[in-house]
Amino acid sequence: MKTAPVMPPPRPPRDGDVVMGFHDWNENPNAGRWAKWRRFGRMLLKFLVLILFAIAVGQLALIVFQIVRLQFVS
């Protein structure tokens, strides 16, 4: 039976390492490859949240309008 490979312990960070998203462009030119799509994804997410918020506000306004109309009709 084959056992799973043992992971080596993580080495301490060296100069030029990517630490928490900051990164040296000369060190790894490929690291920023997906940055455009990440930005696009964040923008899309904000847009969708904004639309959902607008829908929710509209629904609340409709409910309030119905209640007020019922009050005045009776």
pLDDT at position 45 is 97
Among 33, 66, 42, CA closest to 25:
33
pLDDT at site 17: 62
Rank 4-8, 19-23, 29-33, 43-47 by mean pLDDT and report only the highest: 43-47
Do the domain assignments include residue 66? yes
Check if the beta carbon of residue 19 is closer than 8 Å to that of residue 25. Answer: no
Residue 23 falls inside a structural domain = no
| 44-72 pLDDT, tens digit each | 999 999 999 999 999 999 999 999 999 98
The pTM (predicted TM-score) of the whole model is 0.49
Q: Is residue 63 part of a domain?
A: yes
Domain coverage including residue 57: 35-74
Distances, alpha carbon 20 to alpha carbons 13, 24, 43, 48, in Å: 11, 12, 21, 27
Taking alpha carbons only, the member of 41, 40, 43, 23 closest to residue 32 is 23
9: in domain: no
